[in-house]
Structure 1
Amino acid sequence: MKTPTLLVILFLVFKLAFSQRESTNDFFHYYHNSPTRDYTTLLIAPGTMGPNALPIPDILNGQVGTDSQFKVSIDNYYRDEDDDNGHTFKLDFRFPVVQNFMAFGLEWNLIDYFRVTNEVRDIIQLYKDDPGWSTDLGDIILKTFIQLTKEKRGLPSAMLVSVLKTTSGSIFDGRYTDLPAHWHYASLGKKLINHEIFRWQLNAMLGYYFWQTNQDDLEQNEGPLWGIETQFNHKKLEYAFGISGYNGWKFYGNDKPIQFKARLILTNEKFNYFAEYKTGLRDYPYTSINIGINWHPLSPFKLSE
């Protein structure tokens, strides 16, 4: 009995040792033109790439609104229990081409300044040594917002949001995917209390998320997108918090991220000042604090009554 038992133990040890990393036999050979630029082994999944590679979108409040938005912010993030931290300079532009009906938007993670140690590079399967603090260009994300219904009686306001993530971000250091992604969802908002100095509102989103991977047998991963938050407004203060996420369907890498998000906004006639806190609850190993300013002039275009 000793010999069979020993063989079983050896088999289990061997299996455990060599099953920690997925086989890369079916992966596309990205930038495989030199030993120092091989990104074949990267897992294209939200829980294994950089913090902005496959973002969970904002839930929003179901309204296109009347104001334009010009947001500038600095996102300061760190990887939970690992040595990966950095700062992202972000631009976010939204312009209603028709007030309360349709708007276009552009979000740009203009530049990332970060440090990823070799220990974290091993986790994300990036075989390029840590060069110290580095900078990479980020993705440009294009958005369309269309008002579907306005809130009345028992019905919430509803807005269709359609988003395309371009391939402008750099795959160097595993910060972005260098692959397209798109997501489409309905943003809903319903006021539960609506007084002059205090408002309580529930917001939600429901849709679908698609992103490209680097596997021959799974060129696209996808799954449902969801989120819910509660929002409070008191005079010039707005506070909201909630959870959101999406689910991939193949269990490829860590592809079912869930996040907790909270924001605090000080509103003004011309400028809003905001701080946003975000942390991963599943398949998103980062925590961040984003601080910025939002100039929100009235859009000049509106529908006639």
Structure 2
Amino acid sequence: MPKISFYSKIFLFTILLVFTVFSGQKLINHTTNYFGPNANPVPDFTDATIPKFTEFSVYGDYYFGKGDETVNPYLKAEIPLISEKISVKVWAVPFEYYNVTDAVKERRGMQKNSGFASGDIYFQTRISIFKNQEKNTNLILNATLKTASGSDFNNRRFFNTAGYYFDTEFGKSFILKNSFLNEIRLVADAGFYSWDVQTPNLNVQDDAVMYGLKLILKKNNFSWENTFSGYSGWIKRVPDYGDQPIVFASKLNLKNKKNTYFIQYQNGIRYFPFNQIRIGATFPLESLTPDFFK
């Protein structure tokens, strides 16, 4: 039997030690199936238009179902740098209050059942690539950065990693002349989403294809939006890893002379174990709209 050299023994011992240390560490699943509802949700997309004036939106969210209740405000601002052509958008969950069951706490590896956490900040640039008023079509390109500013990673509320996505919105309206509807608008969204996934001794990226379809029915000051959207990642380390969430949202909007008020219900179809009720309002702020061509 051949003898093993001293250096070979040292090398084998080092490999065994590394394996022993890291095999005892539990891998964290950076997905919507193992975190709170605001950690890495399916991204929203618009009606494929850029506003004329600065808009400030205030939402209130209530998530429920499958052992996790979460309540949070949600703030968003969009500032047109060039009216209806180029804008920047910022949004965040300033804080959330959560309460989970013992089963959810154990499954996610949380340290406590309830508490407060602050959310990530998102920055987005939007560019109108194509606009045809006669054919009622728009094409918008979005570039978005997700920061790692959220807190309470140990209780699986927000990731401790950053991400980004690029997506394109295409919208087309059909104007109707009848007493039932004024307009039907169809919007399609497609893009690429990527976020960091921390594992012992290794950082990798989870890359996903984004997609979405939206149907908007308009009558005078009312509009009704129905949206089917999701993204599909590549990691499959456990059968229910969950980086392929799908959601459906139905939203009713009421617009007065200036402001828009809405209520929305969202259902988690796959790997998003939450239902959502959202109420909110959007306020146009003409006085805070930049004008670089005065």
Aligned to 2:107: 123
Tell me how far apart the structure 1 counterparts of residues 82 and 136 of structure 2 sit (CA, whole Å). Answer: 23
Q: CA deviation at 1:300?
A: 4.2
Q: Is the partner of 1:249 in helix, strand or coil?
A: coil
- Structure 2 match to 1:148: 129
What amino acid is the match of 1:76? Y
Residues 217-258 of structure 1: per-residue CA shift (max 9 Å, x gap)? 561101210000100111111111021001001224111011
The 10-residue stretch of structure 1 (180-189 or 54-63) with the greater mean CA deviation from structure 2 = 54-63
Alpha-carbon distance in structure 1 between the residues aligned to 2:136 and 2:221: 26
Shift, 1:178, TM fit = 1.6
% identical aligned pairs: 24
The answer to whether the 8 A contact 1:60-1:204 is kept is no
> Paired residue for 1:164?
145
Q: How does 1:186-265 map to 2 (within 5 A)?
A: 186-194=168-176, 198-215=182-199, 216=201, 219-252=204-237, 253-265=241-253
* Cα deviation digits, residues 69-121 of structure 1 (max 9, x gap): 11111100013xx3210201111111111101111111010110111222101
Q: From 166, 173, 178, give the equivalent of 1:184.
A: 166
Counterpart residue number, 1:274: 262
CA distance in 2, matches of 1:274, 1:250: 36
Could you list the per-position Cα deviations for residues 194-217 of structure 1 after superposition, in whole angstroms to 9, with x for gaps in the alignment? 559711000110110101111255
The match for 1:65 is 51
Query: How much has 1:49 moved relative to structure 2?
Result: 1.1
Question: Which letter maps to 2:209?
Answer: P
Q: 1:113 to 1:95 in 2, by over 3 A?
A: same
How far 1:259 moved relative to its partner? 0.5
The alpha carbon displacement at 1:303 in A equals 8.5
Any conservation in 1 of the 2:136–2:174 contact (CA below 8 Å)? no
State the 1:261 CA deviation.
Answer: 1.1
In structure 1, give the amino acid aligned to 2:145. Answer: L
Compute the RMSD of aligned alpha carbons.
2.4
Q: 1:217 to 1:147 in 2, by over 3 A?
A: same
1:144-197 CA-partner distances (Å, limit 9, x unpaired): 111000035668310011111111111141110021011110011101235597
Q: Does 1:139 align with 2:139?
A: no
TM-score (norm 1): 0.80
Measure the CA separation in 1 of the matches of 2:135 and 2:236: 39
TM-score w.r.t. the length of structure 2 is 0.83
Contact preservation (8 Å) 2:184, 2:217: yes
Kindly indicate whether residue 87 of structure 2 is the aligned counterpart of residue 110 of structure 1: no
CA distance in 2, matches of 1:195, 1:168: 49
Q: CA deviation at 1:141?
A: 0.8
Query: What are the superposed Cα offsets for residues 12-50 of structure 1, whole Å, 9 maximum, x if unpaired?
Result: xxxxxxxxxxxx9479x8xxxxxxxxxx54311122111
Given that residues 59 and 228 in structure 1 are in contact (C-alpha distance below 8 angstroms), is that contact kept between their aligned partners in structure 2? no
Alignment of 1:4-153 (within 5 A): 25=22, 41-79=27-65, 82-126=66-110, 128-130=111-113, 133-151=114-132
Contact 2:79 2:289 in 1 (8 A): no
293-302 vs 98-107, greater mean Cα deviation: 293-302
For residues 195 and 139 of structure 1, the distance between their equivalents in structure 2, rounded to whole angstroms, comes to 44
**Would the aligned equivalents of 2:109 and 2:155 in 1 still touch at CA under 8 Å?**
no
Give the counterpart of 1:291 among 272, 279, 285. Answer: 279
Change (3 A) 1:125 1:300: closer
Structure 1 gap ranges (5+): 1-23, 30-39
Q: 1:153 to 1:104 in 2, by over 3 A?
A: same
Q: Tell me, yes or no, if the aligned pair for 1:99 and 1:303 is still in contact at 8 Å.
A: no
- Mapped to 2, the partners of 1:238 and 1:54 lie a distance apart of 28
For structure 2, list consecutive stretches of 5 or more residues without a partner in the other structure: 1-20
Q: In the aligned structure 2, how far is the partner of 1:302 from the partner of 1:63?
A: 19
